[in-house]
Amino acid sequence: MIQPAKEDRLVDAFGRVHTDLRISVTDRCNLRCTYCMPLEVVFRPRDELLSYEEITGAVRVAARFGIRTLRLTGGEPLVRSDIDELVRQLAVVPGIDDIALTTNGLLLAEQAEPLRRAGLHRLNVSLDSLRDQMFEAIARRRGLDRVLNGLSAAKAAGFRRIRINAVSIRGLTEDEIVPLALFCRREGFHLRFIEFMPLDAEAGWSDRQVLSGADVRDILTRNIGPLVAASRRDAGQPAIDYDWVDGEGRVGFIDPVTNPFCDRCDRLRLTADGQFRNCLFSSVEWDARGVLRSGDEPDEIDARLAEMLRECVAAKKQAHGIGSSTFARPQRAMYEIGG
Ligand code: SAM
Ligand code: SF4
């Protein structure tokens, strides 16, 4: 594999080496999850979104500076047409060795097979409840049966180690935890619980609503059985994994609020409208779209994007600071940044 020279790696002021790029491909979505989107939403005009060629151009430059893994997200990435075509383009970029996608699963039954053939390596499917009523209360649309069909299709298409992401919200999701865990144990999915972050478009978040990973773990052990910390940590993953003592699978906890992983963060982001960000909670963005559409010569565009990436990484703060007196929510909500 091509490795960038040490001085060309994307290292920030705190020594963190950046190897992962999260790419949002759209702000549109076919659900309206309360913790993410507003019910009434005005989406960006399509011409503001990067084309697949523009995204691939930005990734080519990032890969020269050590980006190795990509995650496609949104909004809902599967509502963007021919998303498999983007995967196909990214899969042949020199240096990229892992492409993953996060989806709500509604359109997965139709798209799992083409995505797999295009070169997608891994899938995360978001699922907060196995009960129709609760699913609809959270997502403000129906679709549980479609997500479950999508998961079956993903397995049939050959995806392995499929992850299920569930957001934990105090006073709302406690009763979903055990059924989700039993379902994932039975089906062989790797379940991960994510603490609710202050990124909901309706700005209703309060720290009282954060159901911590520790509390979720407690519910799991009381109702299902003991968990032990997994011996091998996956360095690039924010989740702290636990294994069921009976050997029936693994559960992960992503605790950005109660146990932030900022000290090992290796991520950069590219929004659907072509802005580089160095953190979910960043208040600053770098306008890659402006450079990509500048009309400059290709070499000049690449050089300007490279400079922009260096600046973006150099400006990264030590930590997001949720809970500190100086914390300010970003102006964009989760669906506009890309989770
Ligand atoms: N639409 C796709 C999906 O739902 O999987 C991809 C985009 S979504 C923004 C990515 C992930 O962010 C999902 O797993 C979702 O549950 C999570 N998410 C959204 N808003 C969140 C919040 N306020 N706090 C924690 N996780 C959130
Ligand atoms: Fe859509 Fe995903 Fe946000 Fe839910 S979490 S509204 S599925 S983008």
**The pLDDT of residue 235 is above 70:** no
Residue 92 within a domain: yes
Least distant ligand from the CA of 238: 1
Least distant ligand from the CA of 35: 1
Residue 332 within a domain: yes
Name the phi and psi angles at 110, rounded to 5. -80, -30
pLDDT at site 247: 92
pLDDT at site 163: 98
CATH code assigned at 236: 3.20.20.70
Residue 1 within a domain: no
Residue 82 within a domain: yes
Residue 238 within a domain: yes
Residue with CA nearest ligand 1 atom 13: 126
pLDDT at site 100: 98
Residue 135 within a domain: yes
Chain segment 317-332, per-residue pLDDT in tens? 999 988 888 888 988 9
322: nearest Cα among 279, 287, 269, 275: 279
pLDDT at site 326: 84
Q: Considering only 112-126, 204-218, 300-314, 320-334, which range has the smallest mean pLDDT?
A: 320-334
Chain segment 53-109, per-residue pLDDT in tens? 999 999 999 999 999 999 999 999 999 999 999 999 999 999 999 999 999 999 999
Residue 140 within a domain: yes
**The pLDDT of residue 28 is above 70:** yes
**Contact criterion met (CB below 8 Å) for 9 and 66:** yes
Atom of ligand 1 at shortest distance to CA of 166?
16
Q: Which positions ≥6 away from 246 have C-beta within 8 Å?
A: 225
124-132 average pLDDT score: 98
Residue 78 Rama label (left phi>0; alpha psi -120 to 50; beta): alpha
Containing structural domain, residue 93: 6-337
Residue 302 within a domain: yes
pLDDT at site 236: 66
- What's the CA-to-centroid distance between 295 and ligand 2, angstroms? 34
- What's the CA-to-centroid distance between 158 and ligand 2, angstroms? 25
pLDDT at site 234: 67
Q: Say if ligand 2 is within 6 A of residue 197 CB.
A: no
**The pLDDT of residue 219 is above 90:** yes
Sign of the torsion formed by the C-alpha atoms of 312, 313, 314 and 315: positive
Mutation probe of ligand 1 site: the residue of 24, 30, 126 with most atoms within 8 A of C-beta: 126
pLDDT at site 1: 57
Mutation probe of ligand 1 site: the residue of 167, 199, 281, 322 with most atoms within 8 A of C-beta: 167
Give Rg (Cα) of the chain: 19
pLDDT, the chain, mean: 95
Q: Say if ligand 2 is within 6 A of residue 105 CB.
A: no
pLDDT at site 8: 84
Atom of ligand 2 at shortest distance to CA of 36?
3
Reading the block at residue 251, the tokens are 């559960």
Mutation probe of ligand 2 site: the residue of 35, 36, 332 with most atoms within 8 A of C-beta: 36
Name the phi and psi angles at 119, rounded to 5. 115, 15
Distance in angstroms between the alpha carbons of the first and the last residue of the chain: 28
Structurally, how many domains does the chain consist of? 1
Atom of ligand 1 at shortest distance to CA of 256?
25
- What's the CA-to-centroid distance between 32 and ligand 2, angstroms? 6
What is the side-by-side strand order in the sheet with 122-126?
227-229, 240-244, 250-254, 190-195, 163-168, 122-126, 98-103, 69-73, 20-24, 267-270, 275-277, 286-287
Q: Say if ligand 2 is within 6 A of residue 337 CB.
A: no
Measured CA to CA, the distance from residue 74 to residue 103 in angstroms comes to 8
219 burial (CB, 10 Å; 0-12 / 13-18 / 19+) is middle
- What's the CA-to-centroid distance between 304 and ligand 2, angstroms? 33
Q: Which positions ≥6 away from 272 have C-beta within 8 Å?
A: 24, 25, 26, 27, 44, 49, 50, 74, 75, 336, 338
pLDDT at site 197: 96
